[in-house]
Amino acid sequence: MGRYVLRRLLLAIPVLLGVSLAVFLMAAAVPGDPATVLAGDTASAAQVERIRHDLGLDQPLPIQYLRFLERLAHGSLGESTRTHREVLLEIADRFPYTLALTVGAVTLSTLLGLTLGTFAALQRGRAGDYLTMGFAIAGLSIPTFLIAIVGIIVFSLQLRWLPVSGAFSPASYILPTVTLSLHSAAVKARITRSSMLEVFGQDYLRTARAKGLRERVVIVRHALKNALIPISTIVGIQFGALLGGAFIIENIFGWPGIGRLATQAIFNRDFPVVQGTVLVGAVTFALANLAVDLLYAWLDPRIRYS
Amino acid sequence: MSGLLRFIPVVVLVLAACAPQATPPGPSGTAASKVGGSVTFVATTDPDTLDLHQTSNPVSSTIFGWIYEPLVYQDLDNSYKGLLSESWAVSPDSKTITFKLRSGITFTDGTPFNADAVKFTFERLQRVGAKSPIFETFKNVASMEAKDATTFVMNMKEPYAPIFHDLQTAYAGILSPTAVKAANDNIGRAAVGTGPYKLKDFQTGQQITLERNSDYKWAPALFANRGAPYIEELRYRVIAEPATQLAALDAGEADALGLRAQDIAKYASDARFKVFDSFTFGLTYLGFDAKRPPFDNPKLRAALAKAVNKDEIVQVVFESKLAKAQCCPIAESIQGYDPKLKDFEQKYDPAKAKTELDGLGYKPGADGMRTSPDGKPWRPVLYTTTSDTHGKISTLLQAQFKTVGVDLQIKQLESGALLAATPKAEHDLYLNGYSWNEPDMFSLFLSCDRITSSNRVLYCNQQLEDLIRKGRTELDQAKRMQIYFDAQKLVMQESPWQPLYMPVSKTAVNVKIQDLRQGQAGGLYWHDAWVKR
């Protein structure tokens, strides 16, 4: 197992380098250079040129990329062209907020998805099934930003229960987390339902029932545990989607995470920060998927990594 | 319009209370009872840094405008008065300015403000300030000298009339040398100045909190309150999404917010808020790429300028609330505006526009759309930003041009891409604006040496160059204004720009804030304001 984890981690390095190169090339292809944006609309050509030189942007692209790699090897992602702070510091300030939001949404959406999906499977063809799947379709089709705005109007403006923006108190986490989790919960509910229905027809469930086990034990220990394998794959993939979704949610709720940092960095052509946020996102996604793969082994003892 | 807030004079935002001729209204309560409370503003983007030499970001300058103070400020009659300076003298050759500084002023770290601090600040600006909008100004400064604690001398290479404008901006605030050294020059989050507020907390991506400088006692005489501000804390909460900004205002999480046209009626009728308005120091214009054919022909530019109905733009896009149509390159809020220039305006006259286009060989085809003189289809392209406002104006211009038979194409680019595209002369027309409270704006936006940078219409005219040079070096105010009258007349006749409108800002403010007053130009006046608790 340890060797497997190590191998996966080592394999992630070329992937991350590939990601960094792709982002670097995309950044170079985007019209509008950082020096022009930083200098503002009143700057002279000489001023822009000086900023370009100060940032090393007058160097050939391969040299700029090699310098980025050199810094990376020394554990630095460079300095933000906008704030002049270390990119790692910028990310360290913001990442905990995004992680809290994403982990919260993964947890909530998984709990909600499993509960609703299992309930729908047990109620197959009955009103409960249709109601639950109706919720799932609504969760999939209503845009996240609309849910966010409606949430703010109802819970912040009408009921005055929750704050509108920021991350100033535990209550601040509720609206963004719930909003972010709804779409993912809908996906998981649908997968859980179909996965459970598939498991319901298996012989080992009939055996479990024949042994006289209580229905709750049959459902939770035998049906749900086996149905979890495809769901856990979705959880891993959805983690990435939630990280991406956090970009929108963070902008709407004034959430101080890396999603908003990245959005602003793109508009400001702050490429070191763009590189840094993408790399951190990629590392997080890779680790989440590794965790899911390890979860398989726990869920299904037949799976062994070596 | 980019950088809208950039050159709102720092003092207007921070201190100003009323017109200089007026007697300040008396306080409506005892000073001590007014102290306390907090006001939360909305910052639409994250401020990048509070290092005033390392940014041109308008949100940042609004915030550090409370912390740092410059030597001078621009009064509401556009004259310059001393803030950290008491007085100044200009040498006969206009190249040397000797400032007499105020004594008894301290930075919020307790160290004294003096001529050494001024010299230190401006030398740092020359060294690291490439991103500062006033960096170029200080390239003209040959040397600086701190003669004694209260005498600071600035020697310029050549006379430079806009120097006081540049010195009154938030970017020319004076730093505490001790604080800069203590922070190893990293003052992005360690701002220390002499202003009425000091930095309390910088929560990345969330909020910046400023606290009252209780030792502040050098507010200019035109304020009722000569001492420290009454409001204990000012907070800038970062909210990018307009719908969330409004929700924060409604929920009481924010106390003041600039409004969009569609929101004004709602807040004007809401008893919880009072709506203040003020002009801004800027202008939005329609530009023609004067370097590239066919718009290198001034007659064609003038003909198309006559197809522009400015009043319709103000009415339709701004509901006649957030903009005022302008005749001239210098907006009416800016020194140098002269109503007599209206005689030279390319006024809306579609019939005349059609006749002139016909005369230039741009004849309508079978579909009513004009072709170029060689018979080829003619579809000039308008470049502008992706802002909602610019999108609406562009669509309206498209419709207005269609009535004279011109098939205008619109290309909206994200601002960074737009800044990169215009020096390459990819565009035919250009819709954007400037924000600059000085008639010398010609040198930035219409001079030959800015063709590869901030002159987005690539207009170069030797006659205008001469006027720009004279205007920059002429310190006699009457003569200087005549120079800018001539410059505007020339630009209006040559039409590289068709001036459109001056933005007007409307701000909804929670009524718990008392004694807040409306400015004539540029902003709200907070120094006498207090929070009712």
CATH assignment at residue A137 = 1.10.3720.10
Predicted pLDDT of residue A226: 80
Q: How far is it, in rounded angstroms, from Cα B240 to Cα A247?
A: 12
Mark whether A102 and A36 lie in a shared domain.
Answer: no
Mean predicted confidence (pLDDT) in A201-211? 86
Residue the block writes with tokens 């709750």: A216
Q: Which of A101, A76, A103 is nearest to A89 (CA)?
A: A76
Q: pLDDT grade, residue B520 (50/70/90)?
A: low
Name chain A contacts of B131, Cβ cutoff 8 Å: 38-40, 51
**Cβ-nearest to A32 among B239, B420, B444:** B420
Predicted pLDDT of residue B456: 94
pLDDT tens column, A127-178: 999 999 998 999 889 999 999 999 999 999 999 999 999 999 999 999 999 9
Q: Which residue of A has its CA nearest to B244?
A: A252
Q: pLDDT grade, residue A301 (50/70/90)?
A: confident
Residue A5 forms part of a structural domain: no
CA distance B165 to chain A (A): 15
Mark whether A37 and A129 lie in a shared domain.
Answer: no
| Cα dist from B331 to A171, B20, B281, B323, B480, whole Å | 47, 22, 7, 11, 17
Residue A305 forms part of a structural domain: no
- Rounded-to-10 torsion of CA B247, B250, B251, B256: 100
pLDDT at B55 over 50: yes
Mark whether A103 and A55 lie in a shared domain.
Answer: no
Name the least confident of A14-18, B155-159, B356-360.
A14-18
Residue A111 forms part of a structural domain: yes
Mark whether A51 and A97 lie in a shared domain.
Answer: no
Last residue of a domain, one of A22, A43, A73: A73
Predicted pLDDT of residue B222: 73
Residue A82 forms part of a structural domain: no
Can you give the pTM of this predicted structure? 0.86
Q: How far is it, in rounded angstroms, from Cα A52 to Cα A39?
A: 10
Chain A interface test: which of B63, B206, B430, B448 (most A C-beta within 10 Å): B206
Residue A222 forms part of a structural domain: yes
Residue A3 forms part of a structural domain: no
Q: Which residue of A has its CA nearest to B2?
A: A41
Mark whether A58 and A176 lie in a shared domain.
Answer: no
Does the beta carbon of B127 lie under 8 angstroms from any beta carbon of chain A?
A: no
- Asked if A85 and B188 come within 8 Å (Cβ–Cβ), the reply is yes
- Backbone phi and psi for residue B359, each to the nearest 5 degrees, phi listed first: -60, -30
pLDDT at B15 over 70: no
Sign of the dihedral through C-alpha B212, B170, A262, A155: positive
Q: How far is it, in rounded angstroms, from Cα A260 to Cα A274?
A: 11
- Across chain B, mean pLDDT equals 90
Mark whether A42 and A150 lie in a shared domain.
Answer: no
- In DSSP terms, A29 is beta-bridged to none
Q: pLDDT grade, residue A305 (50/70/90)?
A: low
Q: pLDDT grade, residue B12 (50/70/90)?
A: very low
pLDDT tens column, B152-183: 999 999 999 999 999 999 999 999 999 999 99
- Backbone phi and psi for residue B163, each to the nearest 5 degrees, phi listed first: -55, -40
Does the beta carbon of B454 lie under 8 angstroms from any beta carbon of chain A?
A: yes
Mark whether A62 and A211 lie in a shared domain.
Answer: no
| Cα dist from B428 to B296, B406, B421, B434, B445, whole Å | 10, 13, 11, 19, 17
Residue A80 forms part of a structural domain: no
Predicted pLDDT of residue B519: 62
Q: pLDDT grade, residue B224 (50/70/90)?
A: confident
Predicted pLDDT of residue A2: 80
Under 8 Å CB pairs connecting chains A and B tally to: 150
Mark whether A69 and A99 lie in a shared domain.
Answer: no
Mark whether A173 and A220 lie in a shared domain.
Answer: yes
Residue A1 forms part of a structural domain: no
pLDDT tens column, B361-401: 999 999 999 999 999 999 999 999 999 999 999 999 999 99
Mark whether A106 and A195 lie in a shared domain.
Answer: yes
Name the least confident of A234-238, B41-45, B427-431, B461-465.
A234-238
Contact B324, B314 (CB under 8 A): yes
Residue the block writes with tokens 């994250």: B46
Mark whether A224 and A102 lie in a shared domain.
Answer: yes
Most confident of A270-279, B40-49, B143-152, B410-419: B143-152
Predicted pLDDT of residue A45: 86
| Cα dist from B506 to A107, A245, B250, B500, B516, whole Å | 44, 34, 16, 19, 14
Query: What range does the domain containing A33 cover?
Result: 11-73
**Cβ-nearest to A40 among B56, B251, B418:** B56
Q: pLDDT grade, residue A89 (50/70/90)?
A: very high
Mean predicted confidence (pLDDT) in A256-268? 90
Predicted pLDDT of residue B437: 85
- Across chain A, mean pLDDT equals 88
Name chain B contacts of A153, Cβ cutoff 8 Å: 247
Q: Which residue of B has its CA nearest to A47?
A: B130
Q: pLDDT grade, residue B467 (50/70/90)?
A: very high
Q: How many domains does chain A have?
A: 2
Mark whether A196 and A244 lie in a shared domain.
Answer: yes
Predicted pLDDT of residue B27: 46
Q: How far is it, in rounded angstroms, from Cα B74 to Cα B169?
A: 9
Predicted pLDDT of residue B442: 96
